[in-house]
Amino acid sequence: MLTFQLEKTSAAARAGTLTVNGHIIPTPIFMPVGTAGSVKALPPTDLALLGAPIVLGNTYHLYLRPGTDIVRRAGGLHRFSGWNGAILTDSGGYQIFSLQELRKIEAEGVRFRSHLDGSEHFFTPEGVYDIQAALGSDIAMVLDVCTPYPATENQAADDLRTTLDWARRSRERYQLVGAKGPTHQFGIIQGSVYPALRQQSVEVLKTVGFDGYAIGGLSVGEPKNFMFDTISTTAPLMPVDRPRYLMGVGTPADIVRGISLGIDMFDCVLPTRNGRNGMAFTWDGPIPVKAARYSEDFGPLDPDCSCPVCSNYTRAYIRHLFNAREIAAMMLTTRHNLFFYLDLVHRARLAITMDRFDQFAREFLNRYAEVSEANE
Amino acid sequence: MLTFQLEKTSAAARAGTLTVNGHIIPTPIFMPVGTAGSVKALPPTDLALLGAPIVLGNTYHLYLRPGTDIVRRAGGLHRFSGWNGAILTDSGGYQIFSLQELRKIEAEGVRFRSHLDGSEHFFTPEGVYDIQAALGSDIAMVLDVCTPYPATENQAADDLRTTLDWARRSRERYQLVGAKGPTHQFGIIQGSVYPALRQQSVEVLKTVGFDGYAIGGLSVGEPKNFMFDTISTTAPLMPVDRPRYLMGVGTPADIVRGISLGIDMFDCVLPTRNGRNGMAFTWDGPIPVKAARYSEDFGPLDPDCSCPVCSNYTRAYIRHLFNAREIAAMMLTTRHNLFFYLDLVHRARLAITMDRFDQFAREFLNRYAEVSEANE
């Protein structure tokens, strides 16, 4: 069962509740990325302690390792990984299209070589849904063609034709084998930075009909204003009564702007990847906690954070752990960063329910030192 | 304040309670090694969740990085690291004497070069106590000369003369600056595998008088029977009313045998280092959880373990995480292994209080597959 209840709007920003297979997900929500069946440096029971209701799993990675069959025989990804929250799985499309020379798009699907051992594989829209159903995913993203940036309008239109054809086939597969099962399905809007293509994409996907809709193909190297222009022209065309997911985005400021444009769901590797590299997010902007200037800073990573890391540890200590190349440094900064992202969408949701989201966003963006994100 | 209450004996095995600065430590106890201010892959708040009452810190490492002054200005190692349990710090002697070509013993102390940057340093018995007091350690080990194995009796006697001279000076420093403070002090018995030297060492240290006594210089490459012969001749000479600490030992079987010989305290890198390398301890012996044969083993690391890892995760999942080179694999196996070691000394203590330790030890050693420890 998947339901979406839109509870409150504040200008274009939306507060809702996504319920899937008994998992209750307040929106807007940020989904941590659990590539290989665990968020990096944060195993599932630790992630649960941060209050995360949903995690993203990568179909491409899980299919290759440990392999779909092992996860299926374990009883699905929830049981295999010991994660009791909801799981959304991407289609693998993004990973495959990042392989560059190792892949070939055909009408039927996409041929690619494993980055692990060079072995050849073939993903079809139907096969990818079947993999995700075998993983026991709660929300399965359709296989799509992620158009790189830059691309001409003709290239983007070609890719979109394939994407929309695959979307229809994905939904047919879902209707055939998944409609009564736990694995629901979201469509993905492509079309690069071309408004006409994005509009066409939404229209067709709405006709096909999905449980939710995602904006894909952004945050792939295009200038930020192109990204926000695309979101602001696309989001209003998306169904009001279905969750709207902006894939692979982004910085805290991007997320606040995305929420202001009506987005409900986000995912990004930034809090985890940057955490492992020594970048801690704060309400004043990210800080490079490895830097020598924090060696005797006995305050928390962020004085306005109530996470288990900020309650117990100082910048000086975490800086020392990074300096000593201790795994604990990556663990603690990952925890803090994910808590920060979850806290951010939680505070945004509160602001929406009180119909003062614009004020919240303005205050956040004024305070948050965007410029430091150059380091990201 | 440091007190030791011997509560029960079962043959030579002892159950007691060590209380230091308000920290209550049931003995026998295993102390996880927190080299650089954190147990590797297990930051202090995580370690606390496993119920560990005391951790070992390495003076050599902390002195070099982050440096004594930073820890002191943070308010000591407890506050610097966010650890609320007790802390025992070694003297750095073992690390320095492992440096081989980088150190030189003089009558006054030991000169050595940092393994980090080659800078020259000089440790004296007095200076090392002062460092440990600045770290705010609850129990400070004296600076000693760790005689390598093998060594002739003359070499060992020479080293012991220095060790005992340094022990006297250490205690004088303690009496002068530390007697009323929180940093208590243990003496270290040396003498290699020579019973007469070990006996001389104990006698002199008892005359000097310490808050506790350790057997050092074992587990440095000597055959196991030499180690146990040395423990069994040395332990009975040690004061009954003071804690007895066997430094750097050992495997689970070593610890059970050590307890049967009257040892109260242990430390070792085995559960943490081997955990990071994919070796999980179980009541049937260690298992190489990375091995392909566990890829579809959906049982816990150890069916007889009630740790947070065994309650939530399977061998197949942890094997997958190792295979995918996820930090989470090292985190989870470290947690399980330390819980196993803490559970082992806890069960041993229960057996002692019920005066059936011999039976416990026999059953443990019969079941525990020592042979697998070849892999350690």
pTM higher than 0.90: yes
Alpha carbon distances (Å) from A216 to A126, A145, A246, B17, B107: 19, 9, 7, 61, 71
Å between A241 CA and nearest CA of chain B: 36
Q: In chain A, pLDDT over 70 holds for what percent of residues?
A: 98
Contact A323/B at CB under 8 A: yes
CA distance linking residue B9 with residue B215, whole number of Å: 20
pLDDT in tens, A11-53: 999 999 999 999 999 999 999 999 999 999 999 999 999 999 9
Per-residue pLDDT at A98: 85
pLDDT in tens, A310-346: 999 999 999 999 999 999 999 999 999 999 999 999 9
Alpha carbon distances (Å) from B217 to A214, B128, B222, B225: 64, 19, 10, 14
CB contact under 8 A, A41 and B327: yes
Residue ranges for chain A with pLDDT beneath 50: 372-376
Contacts of B41 in chain A (CB under 8 A): 327-328, 331
Rounded to 10 degrees, what is the CA torsion of B244, B247, B251, B257? -30
Beta-bridge partner residues of A4: A18
Among the listed residues B287, B43, B16, the one whose alpha carbon sits nearest the alpha carbon of residue A322: B43
CB contact under 8 A, A295 and B81: no
Q: For the purposes of burial, counting CB atoms within 10 Å of the CB of B3, is it exposed (0-12), middle (13-18) or buried (19 or more)?
A: exposed
Å between B27 CA and nearest CA of chain A: 28
Contacts of B66 in chain A (CB under 8 A): 295, 316, 320, 323-324
- B113 SS3 class: strand
Contact A74/B at CB under 8 A: yes
Number of alpha helices (DSSP H) and beta strands (DSSP E) in chain B: 14, 17
For A120, half-sphere exposure in the C-beta direction (CA atoms, 13 angstrom radius) is 3
Peptide bond into A150 cis (omega under 30): yes
Q: Is-contact B122 B130, C-beta < 8 A?
A: no
Q: Is-contact A144 A190, C-beta < 8 A?
A: yes
Which helix (H) or strand (E) segment holds residue A185: the answer is strand A184-189
Alpha carbon distances (Å) from A258 to A39, A165, A337, A346: 23, 28, 19, 14
Give which of A71, A84, A117, A312 to mutate to test B binding, by max B Cβ within 10 Å: A312
Contacts of B330 in chain A (CB under 8 A): 327
Per-residue pLDDT at A100: 72
Q: For the purposes of burial, counting CB atoms within 10 Å of the CB of A15, is it exposed (0-12), middle (13-18) or buried (19 or more)?
A: buried
CB contact under 8 A, B316 and A74: yes
Å between B36 CA and nearest CA of chain A: 7
Q: Is-contact B327 A331, C-beta < 8 A?
A: yes
Contact A368/B at CB under 8 A: no
> Looking at the annotation, which residues of A are catalytic?
90, 267
CB contact under 8 A, A296 and B328: no
Contact A47/B at CB under 8 A: no
Q: Which of B38, B314, B328 sits opposite A326 (nearest CB)?
A: B38
CB contact under 8 A, B65 and A323: yes
Contact A66/B at CB under 8 A: yes
- Which residue from A minimizes the CA distance to B319? A66
Contacts of A313 in chain B (CB under 8 A): 43, 45, 81-82
Per-residue pLDDT at B371: 54
Contacts of B38 in chain A (CB under 8 A): 321, 326, 328
CB contact under 8 A, B316 and A66: yes
Contacts of A326 in chain B (CB under 8 A): 36, 38, 40
CA B133 to chain centre: 19
Per-residue pLDDT at A375: 42
Amino acid at site A231: I
CA A372 to chain centre: 22
CA distance linking residue A305 with residue A80, whole number of Å: 32
Take residue B30 and report the two structure tokens written for it. 């295993």
Per-residue pLDDT at A371: 54
Contact A70/B at CB under 8 A: yes
Contact B124/A at CB under 8 A: no
Q: Which of B70, B298, B317 sits opposite A316 (nearest CB)?
A: B70
Rounded to 10 degrees, what is the CA torsion of A118, A124, A127, A131? 50
CA distance linking residue B322 with residue B233, whole number of Å: 43
Å between B311 CA and nearest CA of chain A: 9
For B259-290, b where at least 16 C-beta lie within 10 A, e where not — what string? bbbbbbbbbbbbbbebbbebbbbbbebbbbbb
Interchain CB contacts (distance < 8 Å): A and B: 123
Q: Which residues contact A150 (CB under 8 A, 6 or more apart)?
A: A221, A222
Domains and CATH numbers, chain A: 2-267 (3.20.20.105), 275-369 (no CATH)
CB contact under 8 A, B43 and A313: yes
ipTM: 0.97
Q: Is-contact B32 B272, C-beta < 8 A?
A: yes
Per-residue pLDDT at B370: 65
Tens digit of pLDDT at every position of chain B (376 positions):
999 999 999 999 999 999 999 999 999 999 999 999 999 999 999 999 999 999 999 999 999 999 999 999 999 999 999 999 999 999 998 888 888 777 889 999 999 999 999 999 999 999 999 999 999 999 999 999 999 999 999 999 999 999 999 999 999 999 999 999 999 999 999 999 999 999 999 999 999 999 999 999 999 999 999 999 999 999 999 999 999 999 999 999 999 999 999 999 999 999 999 999 999 999 999 999 999 999 999 999 999 999 999 999 999 999 999 999 999 999 999 999 999 999 999 999 999 999 999 999 999 999 998 654 444 4
Query: What angle is formed at CA A107 by the lines to CA A96 and CA A93, rounded to 5 degrees?
Result: 20
Per-residue pLDDT at A76: 98
25-44 in chain A: CB under 8 A from chain B: 36-44
Contact B308/A at CB under 8 A: yes
For B345, half-sphere exposure in the C-beta direction (CA atoms, 13 angstrom radius) is 32
Beta-bridge partner residues of A288: A279
